[in-house]
Amino acid sequence: MNNEPERGSVVLAINRALLGEVSPSFRAIYFKVEEGTLHLHFIIDGVPSADDIDSIHDIGGETIASFNDLNIVEEWTTVNHPEKIQMPPGWEPVFHRKEP
Protein backbone atom coordinates (compact mmCIF):
# COMPACT_ATOMS: atom_id res chain seq x y z
CA MET A 1 0.00 0.00 0.00
CA ASN A 2 1.31 3.44 -0.96
CA ASN A 3 1.05 5.97 1.89
CA GLU A 4 2.46 8.84 -0.15
CA PRO A 5 0.16 11.86 -0.47
CA GLU A 6 -1.60 12.69 -3.71
CA ARG A 7 0.27 15.03 -6.03
CA GLY A 8 -2.46 17.69 -5.83
CA SER A 9 -2.28 17.80 -2.04
CA VAL A 10 1.46 18.34 -2.18
CA VAL A 11 1.20 21.08 -4.81
CA LEU A 12 -1.46 22.92 -2.79
CA ALA A 13 0.57 22.67 0.42
CA ILE A 14 3.68 24.02 -1.28
CA ASN A 15 1.76 26.85 -2.93
CA ARG A 16 0.26 27.89 0.41
CA ALA A 17 3.74 27.88 1.92
CA LEU A 18 5.08 30.09 -0.89
CA LEU A 19 2.75 32.98 -0.03
CA GLY A 20 4.88 35.91 1.07
CA GLU A 21 8.13 33.91 0.96
CA VAL A 22 9.28 34.06 -2.68
CA SER A 23 12.06 36.60 -3.18
CA PRO A 24 13.19 37.93 -6.58
CA SER A 25 16.21 35.61 -6.47
CA PHE A 26 14.03 32.46 -6.58
CA ARG A 27 14.03 31.26 -10.19
CA ALA A 28 12.26 27.92 -9.81
CA ILE A 29 11.10 25.38 -7.25
CA TYR A 30 10.69 21.65 -7.87
CA PHE A 31 9.52 18.78 -5.69
CA LYS A 32 9.36 15.03 -5.53
CA VAL A 33 8.09 12.56 -2.97
CA GLU A 34 9.90 9.28 -2.58
CA GLU A 35 10.32 6.74 0.19
CA GLY A 36 8.45 8.82 2.77
CA THR A 37 10.39 12.02 2.09
CA LEU A 38 9.27 15.24 0.44
CA HIS A 39 12.19 16.81 -1.39
CA LEU A 40 12.10 20.53 -2.26
CA HIS A 41 14.68 21.86 -4.70
CA PHE A 42 15.09 25.63 -5.08
CA ILE A 43 16.91 27.23 -8.02
CA ILE A 44 18.40 30.53 -6.84
CA ASP A 45 19.77 33.39 -8.96
CA GLY A 46 23.06 34.44 -7.37
CA VAL A 47 24.30 33.69 -3.90
CA PRO A 48 21.35 33.08 -1.58
CA SER A 49 20.99 35.69 1.15
CA ALA A 50 20.29 34.83 4.78
CA ASP A 51 16.67 35.86 4.12
CA ASP A 52 16.52 33.47 1.15
CA ILE A 53 17.77 30.60 3.32
CA ASP A 54 15.24 31.49 6.02
CA SER A 55 12.47 31.51 3.39
CA ILE A 56 13.56 28.10 2.09
CA HIS A 57 13.31 26.66 5.61
CA ASP A 58 10.00 28.46 6.26
CA ILE A 59 8.54 27.08 3.03
CA GLY A 60 9.72 23.59 3.94
CA GLY A 61 8.30 23.84 7.46
CA GLU A 62 4.95 25.20 6.34
CA THR A 63 4.68 22.53 3.64
CA ILE A 64 5.59 19.55 5.80
CA ALA A 65 3.14 20.65 8.52
CA SER A 66 0.39 19.36 6.21
CA PHE A 67 1.80 15.81 6.18
CA ASN A 68 2.25 13.82 9.38
CA ASP A 69 3.97 10.84 7.78
CA LEU A 70 6.62 12.57 5.65
CA ASN A 71 10.12 13.80 6.28
CA ILE A 72 11.47 16.80 4.39
CA VAL A 73 14.69 17.64 2.60
CA GLU A 74 15.30 21.20 1.41
CA GLU A 75 18.09 21.86 -1.06
CA TRP A 76 19.10 24.67 -3.37
CA THR A 77 21.29 25.23 -6.37
CA THR A 78 22.57 28.49 -7.80
CA VAL A 79 21.82 28.95 -11.51
CA ASN A 80 22.53 32.52 -12.54
CA HIS A 81 20.29 34.19 -15.11
CA PRO A 82 20.44 33.95 -18.14
CA GLU A 83 21.78 30.39 -17.77
CA LYS A 84 19.07 27.90 -18.68
CA ILE A 85 17.45 25.92 -15.88
CA GLN A 86 17.41 22.16 -16.34
CA MET A 87 14.59 20.47 -14.44
CA PRO A 88 16.05 17.46 -12.67
CA PRO A 89 14.59 14.14 -13.93
CA GLY A 90 11.79 12.84 -11.72
CA TRP A 91 10.99 16.24 -10.19
CA GLU A 92 7.85 18.34 -10.70
CA PRO A 93 7.74 22.13 -10.96
CA VAL A 94 5.66 24.21 -8.53
CA PHE A 95 7.12 27.64 -9.25
CA HIS A 96 8.98 29.30 -12.10
CA ARG A 97 9.52 33.04 -12.28
CA LYS A 98 8.86 34.96 -15.47
CA GLU A 99 12.08 35.60 -17.34
CA PRO A 100 12.77 37.24 -20.69
* Domains of the chain: residue spans and CATH: 7-96 (3.30.70)
- pLDDT score at 26: 98
- pLDDT score at 12: 98
Over residues 37-51, the mean pLDDT reads 97
Side by side, the strands of the sheet bearing 26-34 are: 71-78, 37-44, 26-34, 92-96
Dist. CA 36–CA 21, nearest whole Å: 25
Per the CB < 8 A criterion, the answer to whether 32 and 39 are in contact is yes
User: What pTM was computed for the model?
Assistant: 0.94
